[in-house]
Structure 1
């Protein structure tokens, strides 16, 4: 548990750039460096998180923690990865927006957004090498990327993943086209897992209660609003904005709401910690309690779904009858990463030729020279402060 906590805590302090960048950091840390799971297992977890509602990158982190240390390991990973962002969002509530507007903070964010370009590009290259070695897989990834770039909606994402699964199941079910690891796993006598119906039923009951039960004090209302938002959002932190705006923006000022949204993009870790700032504002008489309740409520549904589906999902990944579908989904996930690399990672980080040059240098340092990611984090953070103060 201590190992899981410390590894994720470091990432929680340094993972700027949104869900796509977080997946890149996870791939670097837990597949390439620490070897907690294989590239195939990692790809399966990423695919599962894309199919389920909730905070996709946090679900991947939670699933990695579960893979390493069971459900307690999952919650240790979540706590460690989310804690730095929660603390910063609470600090924003107590000290005001001046904290997020300091030159030094803006500089660090500027530099680490450039690093996010490097990390996501590395993740795309690594995952494409594993999941797109055949022509049809490369074509599927490219088509998914193009469609999502021109139609960047959560519904489109889900439709494309479902379509990829159907195509893979119908046309690529031959065991020769699946990964050798899956094929060998499928031949062993592994225990048969079932969907965790108890946990899935709890998810459904809480969702229906949040939707249909009316009334209650401020705490109950806070739990309902944030749990329902976390249950219905596909596509990550940006997509949760309209759901939360509809349910809680009337309770607080529009300026406070937008300040929290902007800060959630500027701090490391998951964007869903916007709930921390909003909960503190809504329950202003007990801001820490409100922040904790809102944060737990918005993350909980995604984690319940991971607990319910992860065992049977990994079993499906090893089943030759449906491995073609998952092989196609993994190729489509590469396309999702490519579209996320273009928007918002690349579009928000590269503002001129110098930014592009620094990103290229970072890719060379990471992929060819093999400079440790933590060294790049410190270097790009310091470089960002210098650039903001002297150039921009």
Structure 2
């Protein structure tokens, strides 16, 4: 018998319900993607489209575009959230968990191994390998700023929001400042900008009830408000870590690169993580496939206070991705209605412009100020930037070449 259509509460035509996939099948498909998806969130979305639209035909072009639009609307790692949504549509909650595990485990495990090597050998931190990773981080963050500004900062008002956000982040420090910038930018977007009108479009084959969606959204808000209160009443290190990473996972708009300024502001000034260790991990994360949010696993391992090591890595990884599970599951049943509201589109436009400003501020401090100390460093960073932007080289290749160039130039100058 053909599958019956999924009922749509808005009354618009729905896609036929697709056959459910076993969680094991979903896991294996996403594991292959997690082992091969280099290039950051934008590239991940291209890999997903090829796999699930063109090759497997699990989704139509329009359904896939709807999922991408929803995950761009949400805070958190957009490509991982698209994977979660695909797993949810094809296999329910088990499918979502299988998709996340498959896509996330490879990079998380590699970064935890790198972190353990950092802890085992302190001299590794003073070497040219780490310096090369920090230099290439300059090029990669600059590429992100350049690409995001072209898309998200069109027009004088959005450029102004971006500039003011960057100035505020430069002048003031701390995660609360960045949260305030995002809130103010959202209000400015609502008042000054206009979101695009969205036509009636194909409906997603949603398998999550609205009741479940409401429960997930309430749990997301409850944890976001309740964990800081618990952390204030019971200042245990493990609860402080959950508080930091859950909050960051709840507030990062703009994808993986934007996690850098938020985590840096939370962890480095407070002494949880050494600045050089932090930037070395960020650079190492560029050389491997999968989501950049798995940097949380690295940071959990190298924390100065327990729980650290492997337990800390797993704890921080789960905490930073938990908001994505709740938000995707919670919003999916309501997305079609939300995305058609011009007011919400305007708020998102303001927030996105501010996100570019925050990333621009992070490009200078801590990324630039911790990596560029000489003309040689500047030249390597410029060549890496050209390789990424003009030559469209894969990020892992740029990382390896930059580290090699730094090491060879250091040997030549010795």
One fold, TM greater than 0.5?
Answer: yes
Identify the residue that residue 162 of structure 1 maps to in structure 2: 183
Alpha-carbon deviation of 1:29? 2.3
Whether 1:348 and 2:345 are equivalent positions in the alignment is: no
Q: Deviations over 1:252-278 (max 9, x none)?
A: xxxxx666x753432323553332244
Q: Which runs of 5+ in 2 are unaligned?
A: 1-26, 51-60, 89-95, 252-260, 286-293
Change (3 A) 1:119 1:2: farther
Q: Deviations over 1:165-218 (max 9, x none)?
A: 112222323x5xx3xxxx34x4225369858333345553698589659999xx
Equivalences for residues 31-70 of structure 1 within 5 A: 45=71, 48-49=74-75, 59-70=77-88
2:243 to 228, 233, 238: 228
Equivalences for residues 182-201 of structure 1 within 5 A: 183-184=197-198, 186-188=199-201, 190=203, 196-201=213-218
Identify the residue that residue 251 of structure 1 maps to in structure 2: none
Farther off after superposition, 131-140 or 314-323:
314-323
Distance, in Å, in 1 between the alignment partners of 2:101 and 2:408 is: 37
Q: Which runs of 5+ in 1 are unaligned?
A: 15-24, 50-55, 246-256
**8 Å Cα contact 1:28/1:123 also seen in 2:** no
Q: Deviations over 1:108-156 (max 9, x none)?
A: 2222322222222222222222122212111211121122111232112
Q: TM-score, normalised by structure 2?
A: 0.66
Distance, in Å, in 1 between the alignment partners of 2:66 and 2:410 is: 40
**8 Å Cα contact 2:185/2:351 also seen in 1:** yes
Identify the residue that residue 113 of structure 2 maps to in structure 1: 87
Change (3 A) 1:330 1:35: farther
Alpha-carbon deviation of 1:99? 4.8
Q: Whose relative contact order is higher, 1 or 2, with alpha carbons under 8 Å and at least 6 apart? A: 1
Alpha-carbon deviation of 1:328? 1.7
Equivalences for residues 1-392 of structure 1 within 5 A: 1-2=27-28, 4-9=30-35, 25-27=39-41, 29-30=43-44, 45=71, 48-49=74-75, 59-70=77-88, 71-72=96-97, 73-93=99-119, 95-101=120-126, 106-173=127-194, 178=196, 183-184=197-198, 186-188=199-201, 190=203, 196-202=213-219, 204=222, 208=226, 212=230, 224-233=239-248, 236-241=262-267, 262-267=276-281, 268-269=284-285, 270-272=294-296, 273-278=298-303, 282=306, 288=310, 290-291=311-312, 294-296=315-317, 298-299=319-320, 301-307=322-328, 311=332, 316-391=338-413
Distance, in Å, in 1 between the alignment partners of 2:231 and 2:159 is: 47
**8 Å Cα contact 1:196/1:309 also seen in 2:** yes
**8 Å Cα contact 1:223/1:297 also seen in 2:** no
Change (3 A) 1:74 1:86: same
Farther off after superposition, 376-385 or 63-72:
63-72
Q: Deviations over 1:322-348 (max 9, x none)?
A: 211112222222212211212222222
**8 Å Cα contact 1:200/1:304 also seen in 2:** no
Report how many aligned residue pairs link the two structures: 340
Distance, in Å, in 2 between the alignment partners of 1:366 and 1:40 is: 29
Distance, in Å, in 2 between the alignment partners of 1:62 and 1:119 is: 20
